[in-house]
Every structure is written in structure tokens, then in C-alpha cells.
Structure 1
């Protein structure tokens, strides 16, 4: 691999720097992106880009800048039967995959049935719990059958469609397709060097029109400081950075500092079965003892909002502003005393000889989570609780989810069901993966979440999510800390960027470049 870096001997950064793949970042028809995370695979069936903006694939529907659903591979928005149990989608005519083979309803059926196949290791199968069958009515029509009415179902149809023929006689879990996919999207995969970079080339025959940016090189750099250094060295045309690292680009000639709103939270998952935190009073006390606004001011440089539940203020029709936690250390101390965890002469709390202890874990390369972990642990320690901070990996965080609190991230701006259901419903407690990591159980919360997803009446749904939020803050399973604004540094060479409220996932997809295929070089 050749990595050239621009000479910094002149007063200004030379515009035509060499990028890590040898191309020039000075060309407006190519872009080099520094990404903070790398996908495990590029197969939508296994969980790649389920919320759309996949670049390589299209779903039946996609989203515009306002997050409204619009037809993509479907020729109109899918329609539902009166009881909400059957959904029908008709495909556009004459759509082909990038290898020239035609898209048919069988490809759609294969995609969704593979997600539901228990032999397939799909990370998104829980999104489709309500689906009992998917059939091709004819070559251009797909019908989904649900076991119960599921109001947010159209939101799940952004999933990219894969060509069934590429999996004939092949195990989906280990298929060559997973690293060298074929899709209908605006870009094709030219190269993927795992742990290093992904190179995309424009699909000149894309049904939505060929992109003006012809080459996209995504360089994977999980360490925030390393990305900042390499952006400053001229290796990238754009990258995501924590707010404090991005601030050096304010008013810097030739660059744009982009700050996008998001429903992306960072929260401290509190283990519900740890003896110390099994009492709701203790979990509520921890929430009351955390100064969220101080975190926003000091850690986020003002770029965010306080969080109390996973329902973001950007979910305006569903968010309950009364469901919050005041910063109230006196009430926190009272609750801890009431629960039997009292301070000793050393200022540390204990009960029956057992110390009040809650380790706080965060993923080592993530500067922002480190700072949030340190801030949260400092506030918790002021309550008399031993809260040691440990840098580790996501895998270890999952392994220790029953004994330690971890700084997790997540959140979606599409529907309260997708933001909260698998995270907090008791049916997912104890399951593998990133569902109900805190082993939280609350029957009132379960009832509200079930009502919210099964009702087709907007008024009933609104009341259900209000009930959920109010029940949750009385018995929290997390200390949700902040909703982030996502901050990016971008060379000012293109037109066409549109602001979109972003979800947690903002690597190559759902980020400032969510509509990259529509960007055009500045004259």
C-alpha cells in the first residue's frame, strides 16, 4: 500500500494531496472518506445498512431529507390491507443488478426469507418478528403476511435487495457475496481490503442516474485522534470527528464543518441483575446524580441534547418532554439511603458489608465514549459509589453486561418502536447480541411497547409511547446520557449535501454523505 501525504512546508495545505489509495483528493469526481467503523460484511441479509442509504443496494423504499418514505425499487409506497396483516409492493419495471441481471419479485422474497431463516446469522432478524410469510404474487409483485398489525412495517422496507441467483447452493453466512456483492445501487464494489479500505465505483447504468462522484474510497480508522491527524495531513476529503476535535476547522478556508442533528444516544447501560443495581431506586438515583448538561457543555462542546429515554426529541410526534431526569444529587442520596446503601465514615456507600460498586466500561478507540465514561463515573462516585473506568472492547462489554455498566450507543429517528422495542422489552433479556443488553424487565413498559407497535390508531400509539416513557423514567434500565449532534469535516468541493436527522449508524451510510450519489462538483 502506498500512502502519500502532502508536504506541509508551504503556508497552505496543497489542494491536490495524494489519498491513501494513490488517487488525488484534489479531484472533485472522487472522494476519500475517513470512517470510524468498518462493516463486518456487505450483505443486507446479514445486517448491512438495514436503514437504507447503502450505496451498493436499494430497498423497496428509501427516505428523503425529511425522512419521509419514498418509492425506490417499488414503483409506489407499499399498501396495507384494512387489518394491517398484508402488505403489497409492486416493483419498478426494467431494474437490473449491476451485473445486468433483472430484478424480480423472487429476489425480494429471497432477501426477506433469508433474514428470517434461523440458519442464517442475521443481526436484524428481530426487526421482522411480525413477518410470517413473503411470497411473489407474480414477477413484479411481492406480498408480506404479518402475524399481527405492525404500524412501523414500511420503515423496515429500506433493506437492500440481493440477487437470489448469487446464493444458489451457497451458505449465506459464508458466501463470497458477503465481501464482493452485486446490487442495484448507485455504486459497485471495486475492492475491499478488510481493516484498511473499501473502494466503490459509480454504477454508470444506475436506474436513478449515474453519480457524478465516480470513485469513493472509504478508509477505516476507528481511533478518533488518528482520523483527526490524517484529516489534517490531507489524506481525507471528509471524516466524522468528535465535536472538540472538529472545532479546529471552524472558518478554515477550503473546508466545511458540518453539524447534523441525530437520534444517536450515548448511554450507560446499567445491569438490572447486579445485586447493587437490581433495585430501581438505585438505578433512578444514578440517573438523578448525573449532570447531563455539563457533559454537553464540556464533552460535546454544546453539540447535543440531554437524554433520558431512547426516544429522541427529533421524534417530535412521540417524544414526551416531561419524561426526564433532573440533576438532583440530594434526591439521589435519599433514594440510595432508602435502598439501604448508606455512606460510611470514608464517604463510600455499602449495605450489609457489601460495597456499592459499579465498573464503567467503554470501547478503547472511542475518544467521545471515554470522556463520557469518565464524566459519568465522576458523577456516580460523588454519590459514594465506587465507579472504576475501564477501556475494553465491545465483545468484552457484552460478556460483562451482567456485572458492569457500559457506554453504549444507538438510536433511530424513524419510529419509537425501532428505537425502543428490542432495547427494553423483556422478551429480549438474555438474548445474544445488541438487544436488551441490561437484562431489563418491566411489565408496564412491555405492555406499552406492545400496544405501540400493534395498534394502527395514531392516537392509541401516541398514548402508548407516552405511557412507556413515563413508566421507564420511574424504573430506568439505563442512564441515557446525551443525544449527539454528528460533526463532520468536509472539503468544500461539492454541492448537493442535504441535512437529514441521522440514526446511530453513520459510517458510510446515513451520514453527511447519505445522498452522495447526488452530489456534484462545484464549478
Structure 2
């Protein structure tokens, strides 16, 4: 879960109004986008846009509005052998990179082998844990060999393919390509001024048809309130904002407020190595003591659903509606007492002279996470636990993962494996980066997640994820709070928008403009 995944990316479109340079765009074929955070690089190998909709790149497959996989660079959906250990992908013969060179099987093999290369600092290598090898069969055919059957492997083939020749003689980690890439997608990179903006130009040779929107300028504005202010000033045509900030546009002529469903959660990691929260009874008590519906009503203005696990209700066939936490302060108090954390005359809990204390951290620029952190901290404090809310950075949140709770974000609507495995499996406890941030360990959860990952039998997988959710709520490692609806304000200038259930990452690559290359200006 990269910083670009956990920061709430906010994107703003401009057409026919003042640009950040003070010049009028004058046409709905030029769009300016303001993003809440900036990608570290634009290289799929290193982790850029692994779930597709990358604008600059295409994967072997893509997703339609219903999230069904469709062929992209592949001529048809990749196929698996009966044992699930070999996947074959056949490439289209008519696709070139934006520099005119043809896409070949060698490019596909280079892309995936580089992700697996231990010398490469790829943030998505854990996604390909099952991948043992990739081989060229012929110029337009590739085979993937897995070390174990992995049912949702095709979901990972949305990763953008890069031209191998561009990396000859270079270190992938520091290659010029990382900021000036060449891809097969509907847009090319014209300019990237780090810390300021990214300018994309339409690829008029795009195999899927030239985009009608010819210029996309992404302006990086990390502060929620700053983006809201610039929107109100008329500088932007659209943005994704916390719901309460978006509501002022409900009755404003010429704008649309769009509320899209998502599998994007906000959750509070509960450090399993902290004395207080090392006890499963305490972690369960905190979950029972948090009023999630009040958060949805007050913080999200009704735009969301309660969360108990990382499995979203939008993962319909996998979601267990019984695996939830009721708001039950009485039961929470009872569990804390049983764990030995008892209230004194001042209402504060202690055990053996040790005060019950759980700092709640959140990233400073994120208004929504701040309000959720304050609400969660308030509910926890009512249980007799000192829970100061502290503004900080993602890096500090990681550094303090053993001693403090933090408001994180994540979630995907594609498969329960990608939603839960690296987040909660014990093999990732203590590993660097945005995996298992609470250092959670539960052997029953591990067994269910492993079975769900490795079985090819849909019935077995379904039961495994039901078992996972039930085992998890009995021994939670987080207090998952809410699944957000993503709320956007957009000038009513274009047609072609389609609703898609969104993942956590909803900046340039996903969100209401996930299919921006197919938008057309209104006449």
C-alpha cells in the first residue's frame, strides 16, 4: 500500500476557465487535473497504476465499467492450464508504443521479470508471490508459470507493459524512463515538473482510438482545503472532495455532484505489540466502542458504509454480512475489565499501574482522515483509554506502528485475496512498507487466507473467505471504520462518464475519470 495508495488523491478538471498559469483553457478538449498527492514515478515496474486505467500504459487486460476483465494488449483473455500453474497470453499484432516501436512478447517478459527482480525496488512484488517464471513462446505469445495455483492471477495482468529497449544499460530504479515514460496508452507524457504538475498529451495513434480530450494537466495540490478553495474560486472544473465540502455544489447551476461506490476503507490499525492492544479482548472492545454509523452521518454526510473487515460489500459473493461489530459500549467495557484494564476514580483505565494509552495518528493534510481520527479517538476515550489524536506524516505513522494506532486507507473491489492477504497475513508482519501495519498474527486467519489464495474451487474459496472474516472479527487487528463513497464535483461539460466501483486509489488513474480517454465535449 504505497503512499500514493493511502493519500486520498484528489483530482480536478479544468476546461473553459482559468488555468493554474492564469490562462484560459478555452476548450473542453483541454483538462487540468489537481491531485492530492504526486506519484513517486511513472514506471509500472516500480508500482505505478498496477490495477490499470493508467492513461500512459495498457496491460494485457483491462476492466470495463462492471469490473469484468477485457482483453487489451492481449487479443483475448489469458487462459490457464487445468492445474492453474500455466497461463498463456497471446498479444495483438497491431499495437505499437507511442514512439512507433511494436509491442512484443519480449516486452511483456521484461516487465514482469523486472517486477520479480530482487535488485529492483518494486512496491508491487508481493502481488506476484505465485509467479515463478515468464517466458517468450513466440513474438506474440507469453507463458506465465506459477509456483502454486493462484485463482485470481488474471486480475494482476492489468499491469502496464513497458518497452524493454528503453532500459538497455540502465538501472531500472533510477532510469530516465521513470519520469519520462513511453507506453501504449491513450496519453503520452509531455512534461513533469516535480512538486508542481504533470502534462499529458493525447496519443493520436492510440490503438483504441484517439482521445477527444487532447491535453491533461495534473496539478499537485495536497491539501483538501486548498483544493476546495481553488474549486470555489472557479479555477477548476471538477474535484473529488470530502462529502461535506462537496455538498455546497448540490444546487449550483452547471455542476454535478457525483457519488460513486468504492471498496475504499478507512481503518485504525491497532498495534499488536503495544501492551494495551496486544490483548485480543482490548482490540475487540475498541471495535465495539466505536460508533461507525455516527461517523458516516457526521463525517461522511451519509456517503459510506460501516466497515468491519477489508472485504467490501461490493465484493458481493465474498462478503459476509454477519461479520460485523455492533456499537455496544457495555460489552466493550466488560471486555476491558476482563483484560485487567480497570477504571479509576478519574474514569481512566490502568493495569498494574500502567495507564491505558493509545495515540491515534493521521496524515496532516487529509481533512477526512483528521475528522475520522478525532471521532475514533473520542469514542476510545469514552472507554477510559487516553487516545490523543496527532497530525503527522505517513512515514512517521510507519515508524510508530508498534506504539500508536494510525488511520490508514486501502481496499480493492477485485478479489478478496488482493484486499486482505498482504494486509493481515502474518508473513508480512514486520516487513517494510504498507503491509500488515498492525503487525497482526492469527494462525486461523493465515490458514483461511492461504486456502482462499491457492484453491481453484470457487466453493472452497468462498468458504475460506467466510472463515477468514469470522475468525478475524473474533480477533481483530484493526478497527476498520468505514467504506467511503467517493464524492466528486464536476462541471457538466462532457459526456462518456461511466460509474465503476472504485478502489482506494482514485486519482488520475481511477475515479469518475477512469475512462477519460472516451469522454467527449458536450455540443
Q: 1:399: which partner in 2?
A: 399
Deviations 1:60-97 (A, max 9, x none): 00000000000000000000000000000000012100
Task: Please tell me whether the aligned partners of residues 29 and 521 of structure 2 are also in contact (alpha carbons under 8 angstroms).
Answer: yes
Q: Is structure 2 residue 68 aligned with structure 1 residue 65?
A: no
Q: 2:96: which partner in 1?
A: 96
Deviations 1:214-258 (A, max 9, x none): 000111111100000111112222211000000011121111111
Q: 1:245: which partner in 2?
A: 245
Q: 1:11: which partner in 2?
A: none
Give 1:292-303 correspondences, 5 Å limit. 292-303=292-303
Instruction: Tell me how far 1:24 sits from its aligned partner.
Output: 2.8
Instruction: Tell me how far 1:15 sits from its aligned partner.
Output: 8.1
Q: 1:464: which partner in 2?
A: 464
Task: Please tell me whether the aligned partners of residues 15 and 29 of structure 2 are also in contact (alpha carbons under 8 angstroms).
Answer: no
User: Following the alignment from structure 1 to structure 2, what is the Cα–Cα distance between the partners of residues 298 and 308?
Assistant: 19
Secondary structure in structure 1 of the residue aligned to 2:137: strand
Deviations 1:92-120 (A, max 9, x none): 01210000011000000000000000000
Q: 2:256: which partner in 1?
A: 256
Deviations 1:7-34 (A, max 9, x none): xxxxxxx984221145534411011122
User: Given the two structures, how large is their TM-score scaled by the length of structure 1?
Assistant: 0.97
Task: Please tell me whether the aligned partners of residues 98 and 205 of structure 1 are also in contact (alpha carbons under 8 angstroms).
Answer: yes
User: Following the alignment from structure 1 to structure 2, what is the Cα–Cα distance between the partners of residues 24 and 205?
Assistant: 27
Task: Please tell me whether the aligned partners of residues 35 and 219 of structure 1 are also in contact (alpha carbons under 8 angstroms).
Answer: yes
Task: Please tell me whether the aligned partners of residues 36 and 240 of structure 1 are also in contact (alpha carbons under 8 angstroms).
Answer: no
C-alpha distance 351-498 of structure 1, shift in aligned 2 (>3 A): same
Secondary structure in structure 2 of the residue aligned to 1:199: strand
Q: 2:7: which partner in 1?
A: none
CA-based RMSD of the aligned residues comes to 1.0
Q: Is structure 2 residue 163 aligned with structure 1 residue 163?
A: yes
User: Following the alignment from structure 1 to structure 2, what is the Cα–Cα distance between the partners of residues 144 and 352?
Assistant: 56
Q: 1:306: which partner in 2?
A: 306
Deviations 1:157-216 (A, max 9, x none): 000000000000100000000000000000000111111111100000000000000000
Q: 1:151: which partner in 2?
A: 151
User: Following the alignment from structure 1 to structure 2, what is the Cα–Cα distance between the partners of residues 512 and 79?
Assistant: 31
Instruction: Tell me how far 1:156 sits from its aligned partner.
Output: 0.2
User: Following the alignment from structure 1 to structure 2, what is the Cα–Cα distance between the partners of residues 225 and 25?
Assistant: 24
User: Following the alignment from structure 1 to structure 2, what is the Cα–Cα distance between the partners of residues 314 and 235?
Assistant: 34
Deviations 1:404-448 (A, max 9, x none): 000000000000000000000000000000000000000000000
Task: Please tell me whether the aligned partners of residues 32 and 235 of structure 1 are also in contact (alpha carbons under 8 angstroms).
Answer: no
Q: 1:124: which partner in 2?
A: 124
User: Following the alignment from structure 1 to structure 2, what is the Cα–Cα distance between the partners of residues 444 and 75?
Assistant: 41
Q: Is structure 2 residue 486 aligned with structure 1 residue 490?
A: no
User: Following the alignment from structure 1 to structure 2, what is the Cα–Cα distance between the partners of residues 104 and 15?
Assistant: 37
Secondary structure in structure 2 of the residue aligned to 1:263: coil
User: Following the alignment from structure 2 to structure 1, what is the Cα–Cα distance between the partners of residues 353 and 331?
Assistant: 23
Q: 1:38: which partner in 2?
A: 38
Pairs aligned (count): 510
Q: 1:286: which partner in 2?
A: 286
User: Following the alignment from structure 2 to structure 1, what is the Cα–Cα distance between the partners of residues 93 and 37?
Assistant: 36
Task: Please tell me whether the aligned partners of residues 264 and 409 of structure 1 are also in contact (alpha carbons under 8 angstroms).
Answer: yes
User: Following the alignment from structure 2 to structure 1, what is the Cα–Cα distance between the partners of residues 167 and 15?
Assistant: 44
Q: 1:7: which partner in 2?
A: none
Secondary structure in structure 2 of the residue aligned to 1:459: helix
Runs of 4 or more above 6 Å deviation: none
User: Following the alignment from structure 1 to structure 2, what is the Cα–Cα distance between the partners of residues 484 and 152?
Assistant: 25
User: Following the alignment from structure 1 to structure 2, what is the Cα–Cα distance between the partners of residues 135 and 258?
Assistant: 44
Task: Please tell me whether the aligned partners of residues 25 and 237 of structure 1 are also in contact (alpha carbons under 8 angstroms).
Answer: no
User: Following the alignment from structure 1 to structure 2, what is the Cα–Cα distance between the partners of residues 81 and 450?
Assistant: 21
User: Following the alignment from structure 2 to structure 1, what is the Cα–Cα distance between the partners of residues 506 and 167?
Assistant: 29
The more displaced of 299-308 and 235-244 is 235-244
Instruction: Tell me how far 1:136 sits from its aligned partner.
Output: 0.7
Task: Please tell me whether the aligned partners of residues 265 and 484 of structure 1 are also in contact (alpha carbons under 8 angstroms).
Answer: yes
Task: Please tell me whether the aligned partners of residues 221 and 227 of structure 1 are also in contact (alpha carbons under 8 angstroms).
Answer: yes
Q: Is structure 2 residue 227 aligned with structure 1 residue 223?
A: no
Task: Please tell me whether the aligned partners of residues 34 and 240 of structure 1 are also in contact (alpha carbons under 8 angstroms).
Answer: no
For structure 2, list consecutive stretches of 5 or more residues without a partner in the other structure. Answer: 1-13
For structure 1, list consecutive stretches of 5 or more residues without a partner in the other structure. Answer: 1-13
User: Following the alignment from structure 1 to structure 2, what is the Cα–Cα distance between the partners of residues 94 and 33?
Assistant: 31
Task: Please tell me whether the aligned partners of residues 250 and 257 of structure 2 are also in contact (alpha carbons under 8 angstroms).
Answer: yes
User: Given the two structures, how large is their TM-score scaled by the length of structure 2?
Assistant: 0.97
C-alpha distance 501-46 of structure 1, shift in aligned 2 (>3 A): same
Q: Is structure 2 residue 52 aligned with structure 1 residue 52?
A: yes
User: Following the alignment from structure 1 to structure 2, what is the Cα–Cα distance between the partners of residues 393 and 25?
Assistant: 35
User: Following the alignment from structure 1 to structure 2, what is the Cα–Cα distance between the partners of residues 305 and 15?
Assistant: 33
Secondary structure in structure 1 of the residue aligned to 2:448: helix
Task: Please tell me whether the aligned partners of residues 196 and 219 of structure 2 are also in contact (alpha carbons under 8 angstroms).
Answer: yes
Task: Please tell me whether the aligned partners of residues 61 and 158 of structure 1 are also in contact (alpha carbons under 8 angstroms).
Answer: yes
Secondary structure in structure 1 of the residue aligned to 2:264: strand
